Structure 1
Amino acid sequence: MNETRYDGLLLDHDGVIVTLCSRQVLQSAAIDAFADAGVSDPNPTDVDAITINVSETELRTAAERYNIDPDALWRYREDRIETRLRAETKAGRKAPYEDATCLERVTVPTGVASNNQTRIVEFVLTEYGLRDCVQTVQARAPTRESLRKKKPDPRYLEAAARELDCSNPVYVGDSESDIIAGKRAGFDTVFLRRDHNATRQLSVEPTLELESLTAVVEILGELEPAD
């Protein structure tokens, strides 16, 4: 670990603060997006291509197959995803992990850097009373251009650090792209193991691997270590 005291805490959102949404829900939103674009029976491969971890190339290829404007298809997809995730949040199926309550006790500047849409992150945090725990949210606009800004590109992390005016934050994520983004930004990283990534192997090495947000907060000196 860096011997210098961390002056900020940066967190991924989905899979770190709040639970992931089921793939079935996201696929359903993608199918609806095609329907909005006038495609009633899209190929399952094309549905998968715009469901999760979408690249601009995959989006363009899927759109061109049906002679759809890729910008329009992406906007339909983003709007449908937002609607579904709001409903999942309201129903309590997308909810904070139990250990997220420890964020209320963090005193260093705290921010979120996420590949999700800003409007979704803001809604989920506000819905569960956690928005006041973070001083900045750096995430995507619902535009095709935003696909070029996703992690492992470090720009959301760097923007969050600038907003918080911290030079030595630690970044907490649950995916390899999170760890790569943190390293590219020059920050120490924590790979947070949850049920969905408990056995995942990484090709890059984080600064630490931990199993709870409480353990993360302990390294900031904000809580006494658990017995």
Structure 2
Amino acid sequence: MTEYEAVLFDNDGILVAPPAAETQREATRAAFREVGVADIDEQYLNAIVAGVTVDELEALCNACGLDPEPFWEARERLDERSQLEAFESGARGCYDDVACITDLSQPCGVVSNNHHSTVAFVLEFFGLRPLFATYYGREKTVESLRLKKPNPHYLERALADLDAESALYVGDSESDVIAADRAGIDSAFVRRAHCRDASLSVTPTYEGATLREIVRIVDGRSD
């Protein structure tokens, strides 16, 4: 059993429920309307919600006659607003098993593809900030899309903050596993309800159905 110097966690799908796809689609529709596109092709909505790259965003905006920067500013602002409203209304919540993170002796951090400001809100709103020594999300810019997972950029920044070489990253997507591998650390894939049947083309170091299972693995416990 590896003795880890730190444990890092994804945010959406690990600490809190992931955003609803339709909520993200509506925020994206609103962004298009804000920059003057009232009738948007569904394939463009789907591409953005699925996780658009910089090149894909630029091509999409070119097809719509838009400048990518103001469109993306509107999309990120409205997407974040929709997320905060979902948390405040109770439509999105924190998973019950997050409290087990307190059982870990290692310093912990959060690394997310969500906005840094949204992650900050989540940690404060749910009282999770004391659990984590560092946290990273991406800035609300077009350029930040180049840095999101599976790019290990923010994982490496968190590891530097924690002065850790041996670490475990806990996530719920294939890109989390790939990012951990690129950062040279182990990964744990949590099969929450939304990804229980996911088929991965990469193999995580560990798998579990809950955070409690992962914490037991880190502690070397089988109970």
TM-score range, shorter chain: over 0.9
Letter in 1 for 2:59: T
Further displaced range: 180-189 or 99-108: 99-108
2:10 maps to which of 6, 9, 12: 12
Give the structure 2 partner of residue 196 of structure 1.
Answer: 194
Partner of 1:120: 118
Task: Find the residue that maps to 1:14 and give its secondary structure.
Answer: coil
Q: CA–CA distance in 2 between the matches of 1:107 and 1:29?
A: 40
Query: Distance in 1 between the 2:50 and 2:32 partners?
Result: 15
Shift of 1:50: 1.9
How far apart are the structure 2 equivalents of 1:160 and 1:84? 27
Note the C-alpha offset of 1:137.
1.0
- The CA deviation string for residues 40-96 of structure 1, in whole angstroms up to 9 with x for no partner, is 111111122222311112211221122211011111110001100000010112211
- For 1:173, the equivalent position in structure 2 comes to 171
Counterparts of 1:52 and 1:76, CA distance in 2 = 17
Please give the alpha-carbon distance, in whole angstroms, between the structure 2 residues aligned to 1:61 and 1:166: 39
| TM-score, length basis structure 1 | 0.94
Say yes or no: does 1:39 pair with 2:17.
no
Q: Which runs of 5+ in 2 are unaligned?
A: none
8 A contact 1:26–1:52 mirrored in 2: no
Q: Distance in 2 between matches of 1:136 and 1:22?
A: 26
Match for residue 85 of structure 1?
83
* Aligned-partner Cα distance in 2 for 1:207–1:49: 30
Root-mean-square deviation over aligned CA pairs: 1.3
1:29 aligned residue:
27
Cα displacement string for residues 3-62 of structure 1 (whole angstroms, at most 9, x for unaligned residues):
431110101111111111111100000000101111111111112222231111221122
Give the gaps of 5 or more residues in structure 1: none
TM-score by length of 2: 0.96
Residue deviations 1:91-146 (CA, integer Å, cap 9, x gap): 11221111011123333110011111000111012101011111111110000000
CA contact (8 A) 1:34 1:40 kept: yes
Residue 146 of structure 2 aligns with which residue? 148
Aligned counterpart in structure 1 of residue 94 of structure 2, from 93, 96, 100: 96
Aligned counterparts of 1:54 and 1:91: Cα–Cα separation in 2: 28
Provide the rounded CA distance (Å) in 1 between the counterparts of 2:3 and 2:49. 39
Query: Which amino acid in the other structure matches residue 39 of structure 1?
Result: V
Aligned to 2:14, what secondary structure does the other structure show?
coil
Give 1:157's aligned residue.
Answer: 155
Displacement of 1:165 after TM fit?
1.1
Q: In the aligned structure 1, how far is the partner of 2:118 from the partner of 2:24?
A: 14
Q: Aligned partners of 1:31 and 1:109: how far apart in 2?
A: 40
Structure-1 residue corresponding to 2:181: 183
Q: How many residues align?
A: 223
Q: Percent identity between the aligned chains?
A: 38
